[in-house]
Amino acid sequence: MGDPEPTGTAETPRPDVLLIADPGWPTEVATRLKEDLADLLADMSADVDWHITVESSPLGVVAQSDLPLMVQALNQRLEGRTWDLAVFLTDLPYRDQARPLVAMLSPSDHIALLSLPSLGLFRVPRRVRDATLGVLTELLPEASGSTRVPGRIQDAGQRRNYVLPGARGRLRLLSGMVRANRPWLLFPGLSRALAGVFATAAFGLISSDVWSVSLHLDAVHDAVLMFASITALVTWLIVDHELWERPSSAIARQRAALYNAATVLTLYIGIACLYGALYVLVILTAVFVLTPQALSPVIRQDPSAGYYLSLAWFITSMGTVGGALGAGLEDDNAVRQAAYGERQRQSQRQDTDWPGAG
């Protein structure tokens, strides 16, 4: 297909807006965005009948290409269709001269790319909505509004980039990458690691030696054991499943540092969610199973509420370390979703298999 052609009648313009998103979270974001975007656009331009379509398509290779190649690939995929604006939504991070890229626009082609990680950790749906409205305001003459794309404008010929300068921008990108990884969904997929966690915790609950040791642990020792156990499981997952990026060039080293930081934070948050859930479960089980009559002869005193909390804390740390044993048997695909480099390579492989790609 050639250049996009305007659609609709002369009396009532009907622009076709395509939201093309990576599979997974970006597609979910685009689907939610479609629900209220038409109403917001109608408020901006009451005499325009907006038509919005969402498509899920891996954009790994396309989004990394230069803009002319991205436009060419989009045209190949949308042959036979009419569109006025295409907005890519991707969960892959991009940078312009080491600065996080929020959006890339080509006004002449009516093409835009939004990098969701650059929108940060909080209020992402609202920021996506505002960024999309800002894109439409700039690219379509029918749209008129005050919403701006976040970031600082960097003009590069026919392309217009919006970047986040400074350390704050890099921190927002990193937090957005962790948000895109959805670390709270990590531990339900670690079935074998969970088996090791629960088996070790169950042993701790019935071990009189564990009851005695926990009596002499204070909050500082429990906190250190918690951090050490989470770190042990995170380290084991990274090493055993080869999640650490090993770059060969200076540019690749910058990208690898970003990817590795996002992977480590994702795993820490995911395992911390597992730790918290296990802690609550152990407390409830200990109170129900380990009655004062069972504990008193061993610890030589009546167990207090603080003792039960400390015991559960210690057992949870033991269970988390035990999870490292099961993590060695874990399916690579369940763990590698936390690694940005692997997700990017998967997206590229899917993109080359997409009809019309290449």
Report residue 339's pLDDT band, with 50, 70 and 90 as the boundaries.
low
Report residue 86's pLDDT band, with 50, 70 and 90 as the boundaries.
confident
Report residue 350's pLDDT band, with 50, 70 and 90 as the boundaries.
low
In percent, the amount of the chain with pLDDT more than 90 equals: 28
- The pLDDT of residue 344 is above 70: no
104 SS3 class: strand
- The pLDDT of residue 81 is above 80: no
- Average predicted confidence (pLDDT) for the chain: 80
Backbone angles phi, psi at 8, to 5 degrees: 90, 175
pLDDT in tens, 30-39: 999 987 887 8
- Please choose, from the candidates 116, 99, 244, the residue with its C-alpha nearest in 3D space to the C-alpha of residue 175: 116
Burial of 33 (0-12, 13-18, 19+ CB in 10 A): buried
The whole-angstrom separation of Cα 101 and Cα 153 is 10
- The pLDDT of residue 226 is above 90: yes
- Please choose, from the candidates 45, 186, 184, 176, the residue with its C-alpha nearest in 3D space to the C-alpha of residue 114: 176
The whole-angstrom separation of Cα 247 and Cα 113 is 26
- The pLDDT of residue 356 is above 70: no
The residues, ordered by sequence, that sit 6+ positions from 317 with a Cβ below 8 Å of its Cβ are: 222, 225, 226, 228, 229
Q: Which contacts (CB < 8 Å, 24+ apart) does range 139-148 have?
A: 139/85, 139/105, 139/107, 139/110, 139/112, 140/15, 140/84, 140/85, 140/110, 142/13, 142/15, 142/45, 142/48, 143/41, 143/44, 143/45, 143/48, 144/44, 144/45, 145/44
The whole-angstrom separation of Cα 324 and Cα 70 is 43
The whole-angstrom separation of Cα 180 and Cα 265 is 12
Per DSSP (E only), the strands in 63-158 are: 85-90, 95-96, 99-106, 111-115, 152-156
The whole-angstrom separation of Cα 320 and Cα 277 is 11
What local confidence, expressed as pLDDT, does residue 93 receive? 85
What residues does 299 pair with on adjacent strands? none
Instruction: State the average pLDDT over residues 110-120.
Output: 89
In percent, the amount of the chain with pLDDT more than 70 equals: 75
- The pLDDT of residue 67 is above 70: no
The whole-angstrom separation of Cα 210 and Cα 144 is 67
Q: Which amino acid is at 336?
A: R
What local confidence, expressed as pLDDT, does residue 351 receive? 52
Token readout for 111 is 């093409």
Report residue 167's pLDDT band, with 50, 70 and 90 as the boundaries.
confident
Q: How many CB atoms lie within 10 A of CB 69?
A: 12
- The pLDDT of residue 113 is above 90: no
- The pLDDT of residue 15 is above 70: yes
Backbone angles phi, psi at 267, to 5 degrees: -65, -40
Instruction: State the average pLDDT over residues 233-259.
Output: 80
- The pLDDT of residue 118 is above 70: yes
End-to-end CA distance of the chain: 16
Residue by residue, DSSP assigns 137-184 as: HHH-TT---S---SSEEEEETTEEEEE--HHHHHHHHHHHHHHHH-GG
pLDDT in tens, 302-323: 999 999 999 999 999 999 988 7
Range ranked top by mean pLDDT from 136-150, 239-253, 337-351: 239-253
Report residue 40's pLDDT band, with 50, 70 and 90 as the boundaries.
confident
